Structure 1
Amino acid sequence: MIYYRDGRTVLATEGVNRKNVPLTQVPQVVRSAVIAAENRTFYQDQGVSLSGTARAVWSTVTGRQLQGGSTITQQMVRNYYSGLGQERSIGRKLKEIMIALKVDRSKQKDWVLERYLNTIYFGRGAYGIQAAARAYFDKDVQNLTAAEGAYLAAVIQQPTRFANPTGAALDAVKARWTSVIQGMREIGAITREEADAQVFPTLARQRAPLSLGGQNGYMLAQVRAELNRLGYTDEDINHGGLKVTTTFDKKLMAQAQQAVKSVLPDDTPKKVRTGLAAVDPATGEVVAFYGGRYETNQYDNAFSAKVQAGSTFKPYTLAAALEAGYGLDTLVYGNSPIRIGSADIPNSGGRSYGQAITLLQATQFSVNTAFVDLGQRIGLDKVVAAARAAGIPAGQLAPHQSAATLPLGVASVSAVQQASGFATFAAGGIHHEPHVIRTVTDSTGLTRKFAPSGTRAFSENTAADTTYALEQVVRSGTGTAARLWDRPVAGKTGTTDESAAVWFSGYVPQLAVAVDMFRDDNKPVTVPGYGELYGGTLPAEIWKTFMSTAMEDKPVREFPDPVTWNPYYWDTYGMAMPQQSGAPTAYPSGPAGSPMPYGPGDGVTVPGPDAPGVPGPPTGADEEQQGATGQDGEAGPRGGANGIGGATGPTVTGRSRDTGAPDAATRAAPETGTTRSDAGARRTGQTDVGTRRTGQTGQTGQTGQDGVDGQSGQTGHGGQSGPVAQIPGPQLPVAQVPAR
């Protein structure tokens, strides 16, 4: 039997329903009923029936249907010794006789009877007398009456026909029951008066067989697979009488299915597949999932299907950088494109976010170039190590471990793996392997508990900072559609090339959930009324719908404060900014010896295009065009910090994008530029507009903002001509972004 996580609600009957009991728990009158029905000379014979065997052999030789003719010992041998098999042949019968004779000489009769009563099939899916007592009379074996014991003995002859008899089958089983009662009287188990007083028993209503529809088929497949991984063989599962308690919450399973059904339009193309997985961060238990429509596709979308993670992979890169000593205030390259070797990697839509933006902003707005920059600076080996620590299998990372686009999510993962990975951050950096089984009780009553111990994947500080960055994604970045009104949410959107797969993965302190949508043919995921999807649209809406019901009546828990991000203020668009007081953050703020920026900065000399070292910023194209919006300078204790000139790069086709659904509060367009107006103070110099130029003239610098003591800010540096920003170093292969 397989149960939901409460250990009481039956999920399904898989394999054999059996619980072994000692012979002493079986009433003598029940033992006698079985002996009277099956083998009246059981305690006197040598374990075989020569006359019965002779009849069986004669029937086979003459071509007639082979008859049984087996003693209780022979039947026990056939059921107990799995290697003997159940085929109906003379060869098998002879093997059965030889083993039965050996058993009879070496074992006590009660030993044989106990194993027979615990292995014989009684119909209704019940193997053994205890399971039969429950199936037919809803009581334990020690409470059976003589009439009930006689019925179970009668059923052994035709267990399928007599399981729930009506009409002719009912007449036949009543006749058989009467014969057993008389046999009990004849062998002295009951008196004539007791036999005459027996009344045909009333059967308990047979439980309806559990359907594999809905998510049941997927659940059973995962339970069997995990039992195999835990060392249980198919023989154990099918004939061992196991009682398995799963991690699945029946209510949450229903809510997961309802969330998908209620959010997706009725005319969603059938080729669009949706997966959802929910993992408890404290234990790794998969408490709920949605695997698809089992009736039409037995390959589930939550455990088995793996698609490119897109930008939901970026948190692992962020965590790797934080572990290496970088902070959320570290500045990275935000303009588009960034060149690795001979390849240009753009941001979504070719947008530029600034020559130097913080890691927090890069995460909030899912800036591709910033994460490619970050991966090169910390080393892709550290990115791989971080993803592995969060539970992503090495085999899924290996094909992409040297690709510059690894931080952008070119590796394929399942919804369960991604929910488990994000659960690591929710658990303060402790990773628990995802699993679906809580306990297994065998037929002897021995119970094994399965609660994998967690391993430290990231420091608590890293987990806190990663969570804080992901909170900003939901607060005012690309994932605003996943906001919950009553509690904080951390999450990340993901949209692969041409929307071949779209994701939203997120968590609250008590639960991590991943939702993905994709097509098997790698075509764009489109839904009527939505067009081509992004991670911040339907996946985020499904996530929010499920999480709203899953967390209903659950206590609100807060995330820990960030460690490497100083107090901030929010501008009118909700963008997280560094503290206005104090010196501006150095670039970069990583460990000693970290690479210099790829463009101009305070005190940085930018070499010419052909000089070794750090190339200059990108120049404008030859035709007349407007420079990209520059980033706000930070205020110093007295004078304002230098503004950064807007940069213009070549127009390219985006390879990966993260676009959030418009926020109802701000109505901001998805993934707009990062420069915002300051609601807290009237100041100038916030927007740097490029001059009309031919690409040879540097951009106008940004006017510095007013210092806190009223002194005027410094004039921004003029932009210097240079090629598209390059990262010096070895040539690295570039994976397509992303092709599933």
Structure 2
Amino acid sequence: MGRAEERRARQRGGRRAAPGGRRSSGAAGRSGIRRLFTWRKILGTFFGLCLLGMGAFIALYMMIDIPAAGNEDAKRQGNVYKYSDGSIMARTGFNREVVDLARVPKPVQKTFVAAENKTFYKDAGVDLKGTARGLFNTLSGKGAQGGSTITQQYVKNYYLTQDQTVSRKLKELVISLKLDREKSKDYILAGYINTSYYGRNAYGIQAAAQAYYRVDAEKLSVEQGAYLAALLQAPNQYDWAVASEKGRKLVKARWNYVLDNMVEQGWLDASERAGMKFPKPKPPKGDPGLKGQTGYLVSAANDALKQQLIAEGTAEDAKQADALVDAGGWTVTLNIDKKKQAALERAVKTQLDSKLDPKDRKVDADIQAGAASVNSRTGAVVAMYGGQDYLKHYINNATRADYQVASTFKPVILAAALEEQATTQSGSPITANTVYDGTSEREVVEDGRKAGFAPENEDDRNYGPITVQTAMNKSVNSVFAQMGVDVGMPKVMETAGKLGMKVEDLEAVPAQTLGSMGASPLQMAGVYATLDNHGKKVTPTIIKKAEHRTRTVTMPDAVGERVISRAAADTVTSVLTGVVDDGTAQAAVRNNPLRKGQQVAGKTGTSDNNKSAWFTGYTPELVTSVGLFGEDDKPPHKQVEMYGAGGEDRVNGGGFPAQIWAAYMFGVLDETSKFDLDTDQGAAIQPSWTPSPTQSPSQTPSQEPSSEPPASAPPSQEPTQEPTSEPPSQSPPTFKPPTDGQPSPPPTLELPGDPDDPDGQQGQQGQ
């Protein structure tokens, strides 16, 4: 082939054959790929996709108009709360008053721009980068959008919904662009600050100014405006009145960020900024419809609903959950039983409030009560007492977890010992009849060595050799400190977590055996409900069902898997019957005239320095935890001692808390119930007693009123005056010296008085 022919062949796409008739397959493949992916084709595809996207966006832009009116949520909507029987408990609605932007001082207007969208006055109403990120996150399920402009947030608040969907985000983008072209920046800013939620049921800047500072919007200072602007990021978390220490630090940082941005933008003089101090808001006034206990119940239900919305993925974070619940439209049915709720309120009034006289005794003004009652078979919270009045004391005493639980923690230690099949230092299994050294300030021993922890018993009393059963009855610190070491404190804390206590951040040290950790009455009710339910985990649940016009929320199962064995749980229950029948709760509970033969298990607790006192007790299927807390009635409401309150030298768990418990429980229980226990240990299985000094352990029980009657005897009966002619079915446990390496005092046959008995001698350290 000549050169001319070769040139013509190349022009036609031809090619001379390789010498010898061979072709390079690799060269041919590369040639085919080049023909398929040429730079012209790639560039053409890219521009084609861009044109297609632009065309789609133009079509959307033409199809989507600015709605003629705001959405239903933006107009007005409230929530309805019901008792378990369906009767109305409360209705809540929007607290909103729209104000003209002219009524809001210019510098205050700028605080919102500085907080949310510094380029607001210059941008086109959208943040394309932030919107693209939000679309990608929505499609991939990676979280919240972030980066929205004030215009976009106003569009979402007023025209659309809080739903996280691609279609909603695209509508938001188009409407925001159109709104920015058709309306002034002042119009958009006014709409934004009038539709945003600020917490405390306040919608719009006027309602927020009144809720937080008791002034109209036109009277707000720059400092106050900066706080309200900072609130919008997390209204409930940043509310100074209820914020945690971390929340307060976060909102202060946000407040500083807002003011610094104002200086940066030239809206605030730097010297003026330097002299500004954080404006602490006033306490919330509350909704008059939420007075008494109603506000505590509604608030607790709202918190539970928000947590579930996040857990099921309907809300991506706390801020969105707040918006979804507080926007209204919900019908929430609580597990609260109307009659039991009334009975609990009445019990607090008759057993505590009627005995407090703040005018005569200053300490009486510092007494706060909290209580929670839970059905241990279903997990339903059937009654709750949050405080004297939601409009006067906004912290819910039933759910607060900042006071020590004291000796109500001792059953958890025993549960751990039984579950782990732990042994004493000498290798003996720990049971209800195991004998420990009850000497006060006895240093605990671990692996033959002193462990450096020597807790004092109530009034520094020495008990000598004492069984676990009696040590629980008398709440002996030294015994349970050693038991905790015998089990292993990591195992004790692990068991506490399984039962429902929040122990993740606590050290597993022997001092925890004194119940020095904080917990709420609701949490403790859950712990004891799990014991009552034979070891199956019970998570107290206040919501029965929650419905919205657009969605129904399914609450999780309140009763879960078994977390400790039935034998361990039932043995603890059996031992705790002794606390009632022959221990620190007998005065208020065992001998209560309202008791109709119900079998009761429970534990008292009185914290160090008498800042808290507890009684948590249960019958089959119903658990109630009552706590009394010393809280200064003047800000900042620090924890205080309760000595002298109600005319008592000391507020013990066996006093007011147990009295409230008994008045409530025996008032709502109709049947005489007995525990169905799978155990051969404890006071519920065999009678136990304290021998008198003149009797040997093998003799019949002393007939002194302080001795324990057989567990089967009706509690309302007076002790028999004649000794029984029939010996007990089993002999009392033999007292043996402890074998943990510590010197043992001689055995004692008579034990001192009850440390938590309100009728006994008062001391300086309570258990």
TM-score band by shorter chain is 0.5 to 0.7
- Change in Cα spacing, 1:77 to 1:585, as seen in structure 2 (3 Å) is closer
How many residues are paired up? 444
Query: Which piece of structure 1 moves more, 241-250 or 420-429?
Result: 241-250
Q: Does 1:354 align with 2:464?
A: yes
Q: TM (normalized to structure 1)?
A: 0.54
Indicate if the aligned counterparts of 2:525 and 2:623 stay in contact, CA closer than 8 A.
Answer: yes
Indicate if the aligned counterparts of 1:328 and 1:359 stay in contact, CA closer than 8 A.
Answer: yes
Counterpart AA for 2:573: T
Partner of 2:91: 13
Partner of 1:558: 675
Partner of 2:651: 533
Query: How far 1:377 sits from its partner (Å)?
Result: 1.1
Post-superposition CA distance 1:74-93 (Å, at most 9, x none): x99954456999xxxxx979
Distance 1:437 1:581 in 2: 47
Q: 1:304 aligns with which of 366, 381, 400?
A: 400
- Change in Cα spacing, 1:342 to 1:556, as seen in structure 2 (3 Å) is closer
Partner of 1:441: 547
Indicate if the aligned counterparts of 2:407 and 2:514 stay in contact, CA closer than 8 A.
Answer: yes
Post-superposition CA distance 1:15-55 (Å, at most 9, x none): 579xxxxxxxxxxxxxxxxxxxxxxxxxxxxxxxxxxxxxx
Q: 1:280 aligns with which of 368, 375, 381?
A: 375
Q: Does 1:426 align with 2:536?
A: no
Q: 1:289 aligns with which of 369, 384, 387?
A: 384
Partner of 2:495: 386
Partner of 2:611: 500
Partner of 1:368: 477
How do 1:696-711 residues align onto structure 2 when only pairs under 5 Å count? none
Distance 2:521 2:347 in 1: 16
Query: How far 1:528 sits from its partner (Å)?
Result: 3.5
How do 1:52-131 residues align onto structure 2 when only pairs under 5 Å count? 78-81=158-161, 94-95=178-179
Distance 2:414 2:616 in 1: 15
Secondary structure of the residue aligned to 1:339 is coil
- Change in Cα spacing, 1:409 to 1:93, as seen in structure 2 (3 Å) is same
Counterpart AA for 1:353: Y
Secondary structure of the residue aligned to 1:345 is coil
Post-superposition CA distance 1:284-336 (Å, at most 9, x none): 22111111122222111110242101111100001111112231111112122
How do 1:607-686 residues align onto structure 2 when only pairs under 5 Å count? 614-617=741-744, 630-631=748-749, 658-662=755-759, 669=760
Post-superposition CA distance 1:401-436 (Å, at most 9, x none): 22x222221111111111111111111111211221
Indicate if the aligned counterparts of 1:439 and 1:450 stay in contact, CA closer than 8 A.
Answer: no
Secondary structure of the residue aligned to 2:332 is strand
- Change in Cα spacing, 1:583 to 1:254, as seen in structure 2 (3 Å) is closer
Post-superposition CA distance 1:230-288 (Å, at most 9, x none): 12523322346222111222222222222111112141522111111111111222111
Partner of 1:401: 508
Secondary structure of the residue aligned to 2:472 is helix
Partner of 1:166: none
Indicate if the aligned counterparts of 1:246 and 1:437 stay in contact, CA closer than 8 A.
Answer: yes
Distance 2:732 2:630 in 1: 50
How do 1:477-488 residues align onto structure 2 when only pairs under 5 Å count? 477-480=583-586, 481-483=588-590, 484-488=595-599
Query: How far 1:344 sits from its partner (Å)?
Result: 3.1
Indicate if the aligned counterparts of 1:329 and 1:360 stay in contact, CA closer than 8 A.
Answer: yes
Post-superposition CA distance 1:543-590 (Å, at most 9, x none): 111112222x346343426423574454224348997867966969xx
Distance 1:267 1:76 in 2: 53
Distance 1:215 1:486 in 2: 31
Distance 2:437 2:653 in 1: 24
How do 1:508-523 residues align onto structure 2 when only pairs under 5 Å count? 508-520=619-631, 521-523=638-640
Partner of 1:227: 305
Indicate if the aligned counterparts of 1:6 and 1:245 stay in contact, CA closer than 8 A.
Answer: yes
Query: How far 1:459 sits from its partner (Å)?
Result: 1.4
- Change in Cα spacing, 1:493 to 1:267, as seen in structure 2 (3 Å) is same
- Change in Cα spacing, 1:532 to 1:569, as seen in structure 2 (3 Å) is closer
Secondary structure of the residue aligned to 1:523 is coil
Q: How large is the RMSD of aligned CA atoms in angstroms? A: 3.8
How do 1:200-211 residues align onto structure 2 when only pairs under 5 Å count? 211=289
Query: How far 1:671 sits from its partner (Å)?
Result: 10
- Change in Cα spacing, 1:492 to 1:670, as seen in structure 2 (3 Å) is farther
Secondary structure of the residue aligned to 1:13 is strand
Indicate if the aligned counterparts of 2:437 and 2:744 stay in contact, CA closer than 8 A.
Answer: no
Distance 1:213 1:77 in 2: 30
- Change in Cα spacing, 1:738 to 1:385, as seen in structure 2 (3 Å) is farther
Indicate if the aligned counterparts of 1:429 and 1:456 stay in contact, CA closer than 8 A.
Answer: yes
- Change in Cα spacing, 1:333 to 1:13, as seen in structure 2 (3 Å) is same
Partner of 2:560: 454
Give ranges in structure 1 of 5+ residues lacking alignment.
18-74, 86-90, 100-124, 126-208, 589-595, 599-613, 619-627, 633-645, 649-653, 663-668, 673-735
Query: How far 1:375 sits from its partner (Å)?
Result: 1.0
How do 1:689-700 residues align onto structure 2 when only pairs under 5 Å count? none
Partner of 1:327: 431
Post-superposition CA distance 1:660-710 (Å, at most 9, x none): 234xxxxxx4699xxxxxxxxxxxxxxxxxxxxxxxxxxxxxxxxxxxxxx
Indicate if the aligned counterparts of 1:472 and 1:576 stay in contact, CA closer than 8 A.
Answer: no
Q: Does 1:597 align with 2:714?
A: no
Indicate if the aligned counterparts of 1:13 and 1:210 stay in contact, CA closer than 8 A.
Answer: no
Query: How far 1:469 sits from its partner (Å)?
Result: 1.0
Post-superposition CA distance 1:52-78 (Å, at most 9, x none): xxxxxxxxxxxxxxxxxxxxxxx9995
Indicate if the aligned counterparts of 2:340 and 2:668 stay in contact, CA closer than 8 A.
Answer: yes
Q: TM (normalized to structure 2)?
A: 0.52
Counterpart AA for 1:387: A
Partner of 1:243: 331
Distance 1:453 1:315 in 2: 21
Counterpart AA for 1:213: K
Query: Which piece of structure 1 moves more, 339-348 or 221-230?
Result: 339-348
Indicate if the aligned counterparts of 2:596 and 2:672 stay in contact, CA closer than 8 A.
Answer: no
Indicate if the aligned counterparts of 2:566 and 2:678 stay in contact, CA closer than 8 A.
Answer: no
Counterpart AA for 2:439: N
Partner of 1:684: none
Partner of 1:574: 707
Distance 2:688 2:401 in 1: 42
Indicate if the aligned counterparts of 1:330 and 1:587 stay in contact, CA closer than 8 A.
Answer: no
Distance 1:466 1:373 in 2: 18
Partner of 1:267: 357
- Change in Cα spacing, 1:97 to 1:488, as seen in structure 2 (3 Å) is farther
Indicate if the aligned counterparts of 1:308 and 1:738 stay in contact, CA closer than 8 A.
Answer: no
Distance 1:429 1:368 in 2: 25
Partner of 2:663: 545
Q: Identity over aligned residues, as a percent?
A: 29
Post-superposition CA distance 1:440-461 (Å, at most 9, x none): 2221474635433412122111
Indicate if the aligned counterparts of 2:688 and 2:732 stay in contact, CA closer than 8 A.
Answer: no
Partner of 2:58: none
Distance 1:432 1:532 in 2: 33
Counterpart AA for 1:631: L
Secondary structure of the residue aligned to 1:289 is strand
Partner of 1:194: none
Indicate if the aligned counterparts of 2:369 and 2:628 stay in contact, CA closer than 8 A.
Answer: yes
- Change in Cα spacing, 1:284 to 1:81, as seen in structure 2 (3 Å) is closer
Counterpart AA for 2:372: A
Indicate if the aligned counterparts of 1:241 and 1:442 stay in contact, CA closer than 8 A.
Answer: yes
Query: How far 1:7 sits from its partner (Å)?
Result: 5.5
Partner of 1:728: none
